[in-house]
Amino acid sequence: MPTPSRAPHGARLSRRAALATVAALAGGALVGCTPDRKQRRREGEPAPVEPKVDPDVAVAAEALANQERMIDLLTATGERHGRLVELLAPVVATHEAHAGLLSDAVPDEESPATSLSSSSDGESSAGAATSPSPAPDSSEDRRTAVAGDPARALAQVVAAEQELTTATKRHAFRAQSGAFARILGSMAAGAAQHADVLASAQVGKGASS
Amino acid sequence: MTPQEALQKTLAGEHAAVYLYGVIGGRVSSSSAAELWQRVRDAYTLHRGRRDQLMAMVRATEAEPVEAEVSYELPNAAGTPAQLQRAALSVEQRCAAVYADMVGSTSGANRQWALDALEDSAVRLLGFGGEPEPFPGIGEL
């Protein structure tokens, strides 16, 4: 039977190929002097305004920043409410896997700390605006930003996962590489799964450590 | 895979899902396994709607939608409630993989459709006993 999982040969990536797809974004990050560009310069034509980085690298940098903010929130929540650590452990593992994959796609000069603050296009700003709330700077600040009631703290995490799902789907929509869009779409689905599981988790009062 | 091929492949998957959920639903007791019965029924209704949407999306590309096969093989014996739940989980996991592939092979409104379907499928399979995973729909990661 033509089960949904049986894709035509070559339609799906091996793990190595998937990782290579992401790494290739970094490899092609800087828009160099292409033959066409060199030709134009020799002919004295004004060079068109071009982005300094591959658009998908900018997408990856934004997505990575969102993942790191999510990890910060999860870490701070676990620090404030020790009993939530076990519940949040698989969530942290998922986002660390996402961040690890995305960091391979982002060259150092496009690290989240610089890419979002220097972003000037509207889409990037919109993406940043819908991402999980920026975490405070210090560890202590992050911890105090977490609600004192564990149920409310968990609700904060659920809301952040839902926002991250939406933001990552937007990144997948924008991605020019189909293979990269597939990975981002899957990441969004993974965040949605955790939001669903955490939303139905029962947490009693007094879970603070 | 061209965008049109991606639509056809997803439609083929929906044909299978509609058939299999129909069979599974017919074997789940609405009294002794009411929650599973409701989940399967909801999934059947949803995938039937998606199948119809995809047929329209394929026709919009001026192609003829692929037809359903006469029958499809169940993932397991699908006799006991546990087997039926695992069968439903398997169907939904396969759908998630198809949607993920469609995300990678389409753009614009069709990609958005696939993104929404992938998210829904990833959450829906939790109701059939699935566990969260870092990369739903992408088996190789």
Q: Which two tokens stand for residue A194?
A: 């955790």
CB contact (8 A) between residue A193 and residue B132: yes
Contact B66, B15 (CB under 8 A): yes
Which of A101, A158, A186 to probe the B interface (max B CBs under 10 A)?
A186
Beta carbons of B9 and A8 less than 8 Å apart:
yes
In the three-class reduction of DSSP (H, G, I as helix; E, B as strand; rest coil), residue A54 is classed as coil
The β-bridge partners of A30 are A53
Lowest mean per-residue pLDDT among A46-55, A182-191, B93-102, B106-115: A46-55
Q: How far is B80 from chain A (nearest CA, A)?
A: 22
Q: In terms of pLDDT, which residue wins out, A122 or B55? A: B55
Contact B61, B39 (CB under 8 A): no
Give contacts of B 107-136 with A, CB under 8 A: 111-112, 114-116, 118-119, 121-123, 126, 132-136
Measure in Å the smallest separation between the Cα of B141 and chain A Cα atoms.
5
**Rounded Cα gap, residues A5 and B99, in angstroms:** 10
Of residues A186, A194, A196, nearest to B135 (C-beta): A186
**Phi, psi of A30, deg, nearest 5:** -85, 130
B12 chain-A contacts, CB cut-off 8 A: 2, 4
- Do the beta carbons of residue B129 and residue B85 sit within 8 Å? yes
Torsional sign, CA A177, A182, A187, A192? positive
**Secondary structure string (H, E, C) spanning B59-72:** HCCCCCCCCCCCCC
| pLDDT tens per residue across span B48-101 | 999 999 999 999 999 999 999 999 999 999 999 999 999 999 999 999 999 999
Helix (H, G, I), strand (E, B) or coil at A53: strand
User: Nearest CA of chain A to the CA of B57: how many Å?
Assistant: 18
Q: Are B43 and B124 in contact (CB under 8 A)?
A: yes
Higher confidence at residue A75 or residue A133? Answer: A75
Share of chain A above pLDDT 90, in %: 50
What's the whole-model pTM score? 0.82
